């Protein structure tokens, strides 16, 4: 469900809850649904923020790479620090995790 659809549905449920409460009807199911929708809305907001942050990091990395010389012939510490989050070494391979979230496994 889209955030707008969820909000409209949430508002409808709140009105129904008030109506049932005024009529002294059991409204636990509606209250539970409203709570579930609030949690869903909060999760969507967090996911959206996370996605925006990832896109921002990728854009920054693209801009940085675009400013670099086409051919890298020497070790460039600034380039490494801007691009690589961490390197994990295993007995048979190592994994390079980029700040964009992409991971690459490298074997001999």
pTM: 0.41
- Which position has the higher pLDDT, 18 or 35? 35
% helix, strand, coil for the chain, step of 5: 60, 15, 25
Look at residue 4 in the predicted model and tell me its pLDDT.
58
Dihedral pair phi/psi, residue 91, rounded to 5°: -70, -30
> 32: pLDDT confidence band, cut at 50, 70 and 90?
confident
**The pLDDT of residue 6 is above 70:** no
Look at residue 94 in the predicted model and tell me its pLDDT.
92
- Which position has the higher pLDDT, 15 or 49? 49
pLDDT tens string 63-86: 777 777 667 678 888 878 888 899
How many angstroms separate the CA atoms of 51 and 94, rounded?
A: 27
Look at residue 89 in the predicted model and tell me its pLDDT.
94
């Amino acid at each position: 469900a889209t955030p707008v659809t969820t909000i409209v549905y949430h508002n409808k449920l709140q009105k129904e809850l008030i109506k049932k409460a005024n009529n002294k009807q059991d409204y636990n199911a509606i209250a539970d649904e409203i709570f579930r929708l609030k949690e869903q809305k909060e999760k969507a907001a967090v996911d959206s923020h996370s996605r925006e942050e990832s896109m921002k990091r990728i854009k920054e990395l693209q801009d940085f790479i675009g400013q670099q010389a086409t051919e890298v012939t020497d070790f460039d510490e600034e380039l490494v620090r801007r691009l690589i989050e961490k390197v994990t070494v295993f007995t048979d391979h190592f994994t390079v995790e980029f700040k964009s979230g992409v991971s690459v496994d490298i074997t001999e």
